[in-house]
Structure 1
Amino acid sequence: MPKNKILRYSLAALVLLALAIAVKLVFFPAPKKPDYVTAPAALADLEQAVLATGTLQAFKQVSVGAQASGQIKSLEVALGDTVKKGQLVAEIDSLTQQNSLQTAEAALANVQAQLLFKQATLKQAELAFQRAQTLLAADASSRADFETADAAAHTARADVAAIQAQITQAQIAVSTARLNLGYTQILAPIDGVVVALVALEGQTVNANQSTPTIIKLARLDTITVKAQISEADVVRVKPGQKVYFTILGAPEKRYTTTLRTVEPAPDSILTDSTSSTTTTTSATAIYYNGLLDVPNPDSQLRISMTAQVNIVLNEAKQVLSIPSAALGERDRQGRVTVQVVNSDGKAEPRTVKVGLNNNVNAQILEGLSAGERVVVSEAPAAGASSGTSPRGMRPPPGM
């Protein structure tokens, strides 16, 4: 066969092939890929929780003050020291109190001496009365002398009683002076850690008007978290519920405990004036304090730290779940419609029964099997891909 015929046949075949490809692309295009994002139904841990912001505070904190006025003679503790109940923490110059005690003791000794004198006078008066009584009975004395002796005896008894009252008063004065002297030695009222030094050695304190604070002690072996719970969530929480929280400095570590109590009123009740005849409304958000305690053996938790608190309402372990965004409409029986991708890659509606739903992931009780894919979004965002996995247990803020 001549070469020019072979060339013509080859060109004709190429033209026919190109026409065939063009006809297929124009009249028989390839099916479009589904325009949605999917996620598989998979096992995961779910929880439903109330989020709150908390502040750490000592389980018990005491301001240790001075009930005596004077100059701080010595401060026996330093910031951060651990002290025991009854331990000496500070001492105030006690010269004034010592003088007051000595004065009170001298006054007591004086009235006690007066009592001895009055008791001797009483004895003398009683003897005189007895003689006058004997003489009157023998008709050897007048009744006037008898009455005079009787009055003198009563007067002596009254003087003794008055002196005894003065002694009681003087004993009280001595006890008060001794107590005031004891106030010059400041003792720790509880076991704790010195968290603040308010006054310094050499400083003069005046306890006449108010009790001045010298140091502050706190129990840090247990920390209390005061979590602010919004009024929208407070109706769903109750004492005894599981709680965990994290701190900003160690967001990877969870501290788990239980909710001890929820205060019945917000902090604003301490300052707001209320009236039975007027009602005031405010746009300010209302928060109630939930209190929870956690051991602090390593002293990692400190006063005034911020905590991200999760109060667990419900939780489920290793349950079949899908993203909450895949849930559709709910019917009268409470069942929900989801779009499930079939073997042909097309989405078809299916009714499922939903359990726990924390608005991130939802538990599927009936209608789906592990591995089946559901439609999460009809129009994928830029950079999104099918094969998105459902999220597991929601971490706390800051994790």
Structure 2
Amino acid sequence: MISDFFHPEVGGVENHIYMLGASLIRRGHKVIVITHSHPPDRVGVRWLVPGLKVYHIPFPTLVSSATLPNFLTFLPYFRTIVLRERITLIHSHASLSSLGHEGILHAHLLGVRTVFTDHSLFGFDDAASILTNKLLEGMLRNVDAAICVSYIGRENTVLRANLPPKSVYVIPNAIVADNFRPAHSRPHTDTITIIVISRLAYRKGVDLLVATAPRICAAFPDVRFVVGGDGPKMADLLQMRETHFLQDRITVLGPVVHRDVPSVLRQGSIFLNTSLTEAFGIAILEAACAGLHVVSTRVGGVPEILPEDMISFAAPTADDVFRAMSEAIALVAQGGHDPHRAHQRIRGFYDWTRVAERTEVVYRNVLATPPYSLWTRIERTMGLGPFVGPIYTVILIVDCLFFALLERWMPRENIDYVDVKWDATRFETVGFL
């Protein structure tokens, strides 16, 4: 697994990589993770339960935990790790991960097959999206298979990266349902608590939250908000609370570590998601598993997550969010939502073991197909266009030449190979599995 986004940072991609890796280990596979360092103490090789080995490459981050594209400087690290660990397949994660894309670029030099998972949705009409989509198309030109977390995400990735649809699979996220059990009993009170846990950024629709929260508090005196998360929109949220004198109605928790999310969710009855774009929405799934009725904007892959009786949808406008919240408050106040039944239903829908099984199918399909030859890769790369094609082809050829120099300067026999046979049972003795 290769990505810029991994622990100790907290997020959906980070958790997905860890849980998928842990599930594959429990199924008898050897899994390592390659990511960047987190100074001052998260450097070198670290181990995470249940036996997940993590290589922290000494590259600094540029913005939002992503590293500056390194290309050739990453190749010596990548080559050494792949050879010493005897890796047979690279699984890259996230469209904005430089390390992930560079791993796909370098993998063919070592005869390693490649899979890419896209966790986000991007547009087509703004400069940032156009540039990102062209970079994604170039890097995925020779990927063996891609995975998306929703069907709308698959459609988005196929269009953005110009991938053949037959090579793009859909495998959703999952959760550990036991970690999100509902409260055994809710306090006998007329107060209805609305939970919001989100990164406080424009894409997450914080402006909608800022616009609708005062209206909801004014219309429903027994409603209070608990908001967890941090981000650039935190100042707008706090200003709204001060302007409308809602300090006693809106509790702002700030950053919430993932292990504390279940306890925050158990405080509420309704979960509000105001995202403007969302490929899947793992926070929605966690909230529903914890027994909350969900109110969400109808965007991206959100309609694919839950049955319609477990979620109320709204258009991404302040008026419609207010309408959906009003209906949800009335539903919960009348006892129309059973938290424990919701939890049991989610347990049957999403499970990491099933996700690992379906991912194994993708891996087997990739390993069963012949790899692209170098000439085929050059032809496919040139097909990117009259301007971008030659640029990426030059990068591909220079990458091959630098790899040839590394083979001469750093002979494979000088690499410190990991000769211990991977055996998952050895972790059982120390309680890892």
Give the TM-score normalised by the residue count of structure 1.
0.18
The structure with the largest helix share of the pair is 2
The structure with the largest strand share of the pair is 1
Give the TM-score normalised by the residue count of structure 2.
0.17
Which one has the largest radius of gyration?
1
Of structures 1 and 2, the one with the larger relative CO (CA 8 A, separation 6+) is: 1
